[in-house]
Amino acid sequence: MRRTVSYRCTLRGETFTFADLRELLAKANEEKSGDALAGIAARSATERVAAKLALADVPLREIADTPLIDDDVTALIADTHDRATFDREFASLTVGELRELVLGRAFAARWTDEGLARALTPEIAAAVAKLMGNKDLVVAAAPLRTITRLRNTMGQPGVLAVRVQPNHPSDAVEGVLLSAIDGLLFGCGDAMLGLNPVDDGVDSVASVLGGLQDLIGRLGVPTQSCVLAHITTQLEAMRRGAPVDLLFQSIAGTQGANASFGVTLDLLAEGREAVVAHHAEREETFIGEHVMYFETGQGSALSAGAHHDVDQLTIEARAHGVARAYDPFLVNTVVGFIGPEYLADARQINRAGLEDHFMGRLLGLPMGCDVCYTNHADADQNSNDDLLMLLAMAGCQYVMGIPGSDDVMLNYQSTSYHDVAAVRELLGLRPAPEFEAWLAEMGLWADGGLTGGDGPVLDTAARAVAEAAPRELPA
């Protein structure tokens, strides 16, 4: 029942027409180099605002009834849409009216109590984000909390969690553990100890998983580990005896882009099921079944040539729709990693970080952000500081902690242990409750802040590092 509706707006005497919803959404987007590269961006500042004006009057029912792409992601989004609640609460509103509703003081309580997240579709979340200013994106996201549990609890008000990202140029377990220990001393690591491996081989991945698990076990840290290899590699390592806490995968908002990552929706579902069963066999305590960890980011579909002329913000929202179907523990937009052909500079990166975070929150995701940039983008650590502080104010679920902000394996810059400690202090934010209690027990945390001491952590950590050895797995 695909309908083709064209849209029109006259602004300051000039009339703009937009052939269909896809074109309208693209042209209403804030400026992004990736949309320009795709040839779908507004051709002038005035056309961009005209598109926003036209979009503001589009009824949400029309967006829900107009699939932009014919693929399995669209089918998944339709299958997981709470249509009855949508029809009752949202269908007759326009995008502009939804913006005002979401910014209203009463919305967050209703969103929580009535489970409104699943009544909203990704395309609607993208549409409303296009009408929001940066401050709107912060203000609207802050009260929308999604709680998730695995070996600890994410998402409570006042919590800013941190993934320790202890990457190493050759995945050497000793070096990885030393970076992780430094993070723990800064109160980081409650979201996870999560390594991006150089080597996607099963043995190497299992070796790092074993080393991280050993450290967690010796120190009794209430947290989870992850090695961000391809999903099939992690599942094979698990099958051969490696401990998998979180199952990671990069995902995107179209079937074609997911295929370029080597994943299908069935594979995600099967992987999730296998890890839940694996946890039932483990001796450690798991307090929830949020076992998935996803990473997303604007531009990946265009990069794979699988964007179907849909703008990168809308496709990012569709990736969130994929994530939501598998009850993730955390979702992370790796916002500035993709490069300047998609997000040209600090202004575009910071805007995209706020957009992705807001859309994820509205859709009910435990949304975090890798606040980051590459050295060929027109951004720097100052602009990175800005986005970190804005997202912390927006209630961001978690951010990265990387030694000195310098990822020595992926060669980009993110946020550091020092950065996160300072921002928690500034805004009175805390680690996850179980992790905070552990920090206090170890003498690392008191009166709502770091003590600056090493506690007994260093001794135990030194032994863990000394005894770290590559593990042999059965074939």
Partner 1 sequence: MTGEALTTQDDVRALLTRRAREVTPARIFTGGPEGGYTTTDLLALRADHAAARDAVLAPLDLADPALADIAARHAVFAVDSQAGSIEEHLLRPDLGRRLSDAGRAAITAACTPATDVQIVIGDGLSAAAVHAQVPTLLPLLVAECRQRGWTVGRPFAVRHCRVGVMNDVGDALDPAVVVLLVGERPGLATAESLSAYLAYRPRPGDTDAKRDLISNIHARGLTTEEAVRRIGDLIAEQRALRGSGVAARSA
Q: Among 205, 300, 194, 183, which Cα is nearest to 252's?
A: 300
DSSP type of residue 227: E
Q: How far is the CB of 175 from partner 1 (least distance, A)?
A: 3
The CB-of-32 to partner 1 minimum distance in angstroms stands at 11
Stretch of 66-74, 222-230, 253-261, 414-422 lying at the interface with partner 1 (CB under 8 A): 414-422
Q: Does 37 bind partner 1 (CB under 8 A)?
A: yes
Contact criterion met (CB below 8 Å) for 77 and 149: no
Q: Which one of 411, 441, 448, 469 is in contact with partner 1 (CB under 8 A)?
A: 411
With CA atoms as reference, report the closest residue to 356 among 416, 304, 397.
Answer: 397
Q: Which of 78, 287, 375, 446 binds partner 1 (CB under 8 A)?
A: 375
Site membership for partner 1, residue 426 (CB under 8 A): no
When the beta carbons of 183 and 366 are compared against partner 1, the nearer one is 183
- Shortest Cβ 461–partner 1 spacing (Å): 7
Place of tokens 């990387």: 402
With binding defined as CB under 8 A, does residue 162 bind partner 1?
Answer: no
Using CB under 8 A, which residues numbered 172 to 231 contact partner 1?
172, 174-176, 178-179, 181-182, 186-187
Name the residue nearer to partner 1 (CB basis): 321 or 340: 340
Buried b (16+ CB within 10 A) or exposed e, 268-281: beebbebbbebbee
Nearest distance from residue 413's CB to partner 1, in Å? 7
Q: Are 311 and 26 in contact (CB under 8 A)?
A: yes
Taking the least distance from each CB to partner 1, the nearer of 91 and 450 is 450
Q: Which stretch binds partner 1 (CB under 8 A): 30-38, 58-66, 247-255, 361-369?
A: 30-38
Q: What's the maximum distance between 2 C-alpha atoms anywhere in the chain?
A: 74
Report the nearest approach of partner 1 to the CB of residue 419 (Å): 7
Buried residues in 28-46 as b, exposed as e (16+ CB within 10 A): bbbebbbbebbebbbeeee
Contact range with partner 1 by CB under 8 A, out of 236-244, 261-269, 329-337, 461-469: 461-469
- Please, which residue, 59 or 175, has the CB nearer to partner 1? 175
The Cα 238–Cα 464 span in angstroms is 22
Q: Which is nearer to partner 1, 353 or 401 (CB)?
A: 401
257 contacts 300 by C-beta, under 8 angstroms = yes
Residue among 164 and 322 whose Cβ is closer to partner 1: 164
Decide if 109 contacts 76 (C-beta within 8 A). no
Asked whether position 458 contacts partner 1 by CB under 8 A, the answer is yes
d(CA 331, CA 472): 31
The 8-class DSSP code of residue 104 comes to: S
- At its nearest, how many Å lie between partner 1 and the CB of residue 455? 9
| Residue 454 near partner 1 by CB under 8 A | yes
- Quickly count: other Cβ atoms within 10 Å of residue 242's Cβ: 23
Q: Dig out the tokens for 327 from the structure.
A: 């009850």
Structure tokens at 161: 């969690």
Q: Give kind and range of the element (H or E) at residue 211.
A: helix 202-219
Among the listed ranges 18-26, 32-40, 84-92, 190-198, the one in contact with partner 1 (CB under 8 A) is: 32-40
- Binding string, 329-348, against partner 1, x = CB under 8 A? -----------xx--x----
Min separation Cβ 295 and partner 1, Å = 19
Out of 91, 325, 440, 450, name the contact with partner 1 by CB under 8 A. Answer: 450
The answer for residues whose C-beta is within 8 angstroms of residue 154's C-beta and 6 or more apart is 147, 148, 161, 191, 329, 330, 366, 397, 398, 432
Containing 163, the helix (H) or strand (E) segment is strand 161-164
Nearer CB in complex with partner 1: 271/297: 297
Amino acid sitting at position 373? Y
Residue from 4, 447, 452, 472 touching partner 1 (CB under 8 A): that is 452
40 forms part of the interface with partner 1 (CB under 8 A): no
DSSP code per residue over 411-437: TEE---HHHHHHHHHHHT-B--HHHHH
299 vs 311: CA distance, rounded Å: 9
Q: Does position 259 bind partner 1 by CB under 8 A?
A: no
Residue 215 CB, nearest distance to partner 1 (Å)? 13
427 binds partner 1 (CB under 8 A): no
Nearest residue (CB) to partner 1, 284 versus 467: 467
What length does the chain have?
A: 475
Number of residues that bind partner 1 (CB under 8 A): 48
Contact in structure between 311 and 47 (CB atoms under 8 Å): no
Name the site residues for partner 1 (rule: CB under 8 A): 33, 36-37, 166-169, 172, 174-176, 178-179, 181-182, 186-187, 340-341, 344, 374-376, 380-381, 403-406, 408, 411-413, 416-419, 421-422, 450, 452, 454, 458-459, 461-462, 465-466
